Amino acid sequence: MDKRFSRLEELYGLDKVKKLENSKVLVIGLGGVGGYVVESLARSNIGSLILVDSDCVDITNINRQIIATNDTVGKLKTECFKERIKSINPECKVTIYSEFLDESNYLNILNQDIDFIVDAIDSVKSKELIIKYALENNIKIISSMGTGNRENPRDLDIMDISKTSGDPIAKIIRKYLRDNNINKKFKVLCSHELPMNKIKDVIPSNSFVPSSAGLLISSYVIKELIKD
């Protein structure tokens, strides 16, 4: 085993670390949450990562997104993460889609041999497409609800979508599932904390809630991938 992951092997054993090496994870959205998911998965010997995001790094991302520095402002997030992953684990196969996932392209992106989908995007309509496809095709998925406009990382939790309350995004997703007679259960990352402020033009955020959410999601993905 590569010495990069020797500590991981000590924790889980060689067989489970090999499982991670043979896994393919799709991460959609490379912002405050998704960026930390990618960082953690790359450092956990995930063998194949598919990354989807249409955005370039903006200077306002610096307060909370791991890929955002003065050197990366203006560059595509997908390209920046591809380079970063290769510097962490050159053996990881990285596929990027520098585009916004919507009805025009979601089948092309999702219709692959994928072991796990991480939905870390803001667009509710795109979330609905991703969740519906994953559930209909029996692909494991975890979806991030809102993490902006909150200040307590200890209030983050992973739960079934049916157990969520107080989160505006989760409320919309629950209604979408009911309206479309989708009864399958799946996990979401959600906060028990209510949003702090009334949203005007931008969503307030900090460095510690989105990052904590991303790390919680990656821990869940890894545990699911190495389950016997």
CATH number assigned to the domain comprising residue 36: 3.40.50.720
Mean pLDDT, residues 55-70: 97
Tell me if 117 sits within 8 A of 224, measured CB to CB.
Answer: no
**Which residue from 199, 200, 216 is spatially nearest to 208, judged by alpha carbons?**
216
**Which residue from 38, 36, 62, 72 is spatially nearest to 52, judged by alpha carbons?**
38
At residue 1 the predicted structure's pLDDT band, cuts being 50, 70 and 90, is low
Tokens 């380079």, residue? 83
Q: Tell me the percentage of the chain whose pLDDT exceeds 70.
A: 99
For 176, the domain range is 3-225
pTM, full prediction: 0.96
Using DSSP's 3-state secondary structure scheme, residue 116 falls into strand
Say what the pLDDT of residue 126 is. 97
Tokens for 21, please give them: 């090496």
Mean pLDDT, residues 106-126: 96
Relative to beta strand 93-97, strand 187-191 is: unpaired
DSSP 39-51: HHHHTTT-SEEEE
Q: How many domains in the chain? A: 1
